[in-house]
Structure 1
Amino acid sequence: MTLDTAFRATEVLIALAFLQQSAEFMLRSGVERAIFAVRIVACLALLIGAQTELALLVLVVISLWMLHRFQGPYNGGSDRMSLLILWCLTLAKWMPTLFWQEVIFGYLAFQLTLSYFISGRVKIVNPEWRSGRALRDVFAFSAYPVSENLRQLSTRPRLLWAASWAVILFEVVFPLALLNQTLLIAALCIGASFHLSNAIFFGLNRFVWIWVAAYPSLLWFQGRVFGDVF
């Protein structure tokens, strides 16, 4: 994947992610509704490829307003990833030289890889994750499951043990996927499926679009730095 193609794919995907995030604010009134209406217009400009550098700057300014308004990221991890992608993409697009464009976009790819690896490392040293109890508690007690029927999964410890280790192993070995393009594509498909399952089971729908929006940077980075090692 070329750098320009990765830029364009990221613009489209982050626009879709921000449109989803902004829709809920259309039910409000006053300043918030007006600002998020502007955010939607900027996202539509990104989608059609019109004045993309200006649209990104508008989104950056709005992101600063959101950090002030909500005293930090509005929705935790998904908003932190949103800020990372937006700022890296904007800085890369406005850099005057190819060298700095690649450095900044490569940083985004590195942070995406690190997000999976660190998440897996945290889980693998946690005995509750290794035993499957962490997932059992999520299904049994938390407010996350979108259906009460899903809570019945808490009575299937072997299934949840296997699911826990599947998530742990995927996240821990994810960096190895950079060694081969086919392997990376497979890993990203698994990652997207993982985020989609979280949206279905737990209602964490913000994570789907925004994590996928960072995938083009990784596809470009793998080809640019590693190629196919094997």
Structure 2
Amino acid sequence: MTLDAASRLTEGLLALALLQQSLEHLNGPRADRPLFLARMALCGLVIVGAVLPWPLVALAGLVGLAGLSLLILQRFQGPYNGGSDRMGLLALWCLTLSRLAPTPALAELFFGYLGLQLMLSYVISGGVKIVNPDWRSGQALADVFRFSAYPVSEDLRRWADRPRVLLAMSWAVMLFELAFPLTLLSRESLIVGLVIAATFHLANACLFGLNRFFWTWLSVYPAILWLQARVV
């Protein structure tokens, strides 16, 4: 996968993720709607530029989205939706800087940095979990099922009463996240790792409503696929 192809695919997927997030705000406060209507329009430019040979259209959309992201940060006093917003901002600015870079080497550096941060997002998450005794015992995952603020069924909450299953699930998540760098050893192992990771995010979206994480992380997968092919 070339840098241009990987960048365009990432741009298109990220634009779809941001478009989906913007739709949520159309039923929100009226004062916020112009910001997100503008973001939807700019996402459209990026999508058109990503799927057709109109790179200037995509670049205009990216630059516009990057500038608009500063206004949205100011409006909400930071990334109001936590990790998914942070990853979306990182992807947006890495793509924009890569497209604006004056040399191919800098363009690769900015885009490769995005792939590196995706890998670190899993490793750091696993590291934070494994030093937490509640995660090592399965209690943290039990609390997620028992006290989730998201609307889940009573049948799902009963998973909190299965300590052995949750203990196994906890260690499976932690070990996978910590071992994620090993997937970079080959193209095939990376694809398998990304399928497992995407399935994990999809399960969180279906079970707990964490849909933003699924679409945002998925949009960055082309960056790590390109990075793996570039350095291995």
Question: One fold, TM greater than 0.5?
Answer: yes
User: Aligned-residue CA RMSD in angstroms?
Assistant: 1.1
Matched, 1:47 2:47: yes
Q: Normalization by structure 2: what TM-score? A: 0.94
2:91 matches 1:85: yes
Q: Could you tell me which residue of structure 1 aligns to residue 155 of structure 2?
A: 149
Distance in 1 (alpha carbons) for counterparts of 2:147 and 2:28: 32
1:8 corresponding residue in structure 2 = 8
Asked if 1:197 is matched to 2:203, the reply is yes
Amino acid of the structure 2 residue aligned with 1:215: Y
Alpha-carbon distance in 1 for matches of 2:11, 2:21: 15
Alpha-carbon distance in structure 1 between the residues aligned to 2:148 and 2:38: 36
Work out the CA distance in 1 between the residues paired with 2:8 and 2:78: 28
Q: Distance in 1 between matches of 2:154 and 2:61?
A: 42
TM-score scaled by length of structure 1: 0.95
In the alignment, structure 2 segments of 5+ residues that lack a partner are: none
Please tell me whether the aligned partners of residues 146 and 200 of structure 1 are also in contact (alpha carbons under 8 angstroms): no
In the alignment, the residues of structure 2 paired with residue 34 and residue 145 of structure 1 have an alpha-carbon distance, to the nearest angstrom, of: 30
Letter in 1 for 2:170: S
Tell me the distance in 1 between the aligned counterparts of 2:78 and 2:202: 25
- Summarize the Cα distance change of 1:126–1:145 in structure 2 as closer, same or farther, 3 Å threshold: farther
5+ residue gaps in structure 1?
none
Which consecutive aligned stretches of 4+ in structure 1 deviate over 4 angstroms post-superposition?
Answer: none
- Partner in structure 2 of residue 119 of structure 1: 125
Q: Cα deviation per residue 1:71-106 (whole Å; 9 max; x = unaligned)?
A: 000201100001000000000011121100011111
How much identity, in percent, do the aligned residues show?
58
Deviations 1:200-229 (A, max 9, x none): 111101000100111100000000001xxx
Aligned residues: 226
> 1:33-112 counterparts in 2 under 5 A?
33-49=33-49, 50=54, 51-112=57-118
What is the distance in 1 between the residues matched to 2:80 and 2:64? Answer: 18
